[in-house]
Each structure stands twice: as structure tokens, then as C-alpha cells.
Structure 1
């Protein structure tokens, strides 16, 4: 495991091409987290072209919300 890992936030994630959509600021990602639209958290390591991993955050609204 690398010593340094950093994250970026993207509008989406395409598993086939291993690319994200438009980059989101931390504030935009927080706003999406609070209002439900999905976004992706991309894990990067220095010197590696392909991301180490991606986590798509897509909260399902509760019933009656």
C-alpha cells in the first residue's frame, strides 16, 4: 500500500474507462451529500495514472422525505 493517498471528488464515475466526470470542489461534494445527487470519490496515489479506486456515493432518500 502506498504511503500517500489523496482523493478528488467527481460528478460521476465510468468503470469501463476508469474516468470521472466533471471535478467537484469539496463544497460541491458536501452539498450533493446533503441533497442526494450522486458523486464519486476517487482515490489516487502519486505516480500512478489509473486511480487506486473509486467510491460512488448515492444516498437513497428515505420514504416520506
Structure 2
């Protein structure tokens, strides 16, 4: 009787542990995706600024 309850308790703890690990992995994936999108935005912004700078300099040369 008590042994069966012990197994159920161990199974519940393992299930809870697995669920928390899955949630942590998913949340870290989402955070990683957000960071890459932010990085892409920053690099495109830098490219845009350098293009504007190049156009401005070419007009100053003429």
C-alpha cells in the first residue's frame, strides 16, 4: 500500500520536473528568437544609416 503511494509520488515529481524543463526550454527558445530579430533590425538600421551617409557624401562631392 505505502510502496504504491511512494511510486505515485515519485512519478508525479518526475512529471512535474519534465514539464518545467520543457517550459524552460521553450521560453529560452522564444527569448533567443527575439534576440536574433532584434539583432537583424539593428544591423539593417546600421546599413540604412551608412547608405544615407554615402548618398550625402556623394552629393557633397558634386
What TM-score, normalized by structure 1, do the two folds share?
Answer: 0.24
Q: Which has the higher contact order (CA 8 A, sep 6+)?
A: 1
Q: Which protein is richer in helix relative to its size?
A: 2
Q: Which protein is richer in strand relative to its size?
A: 1
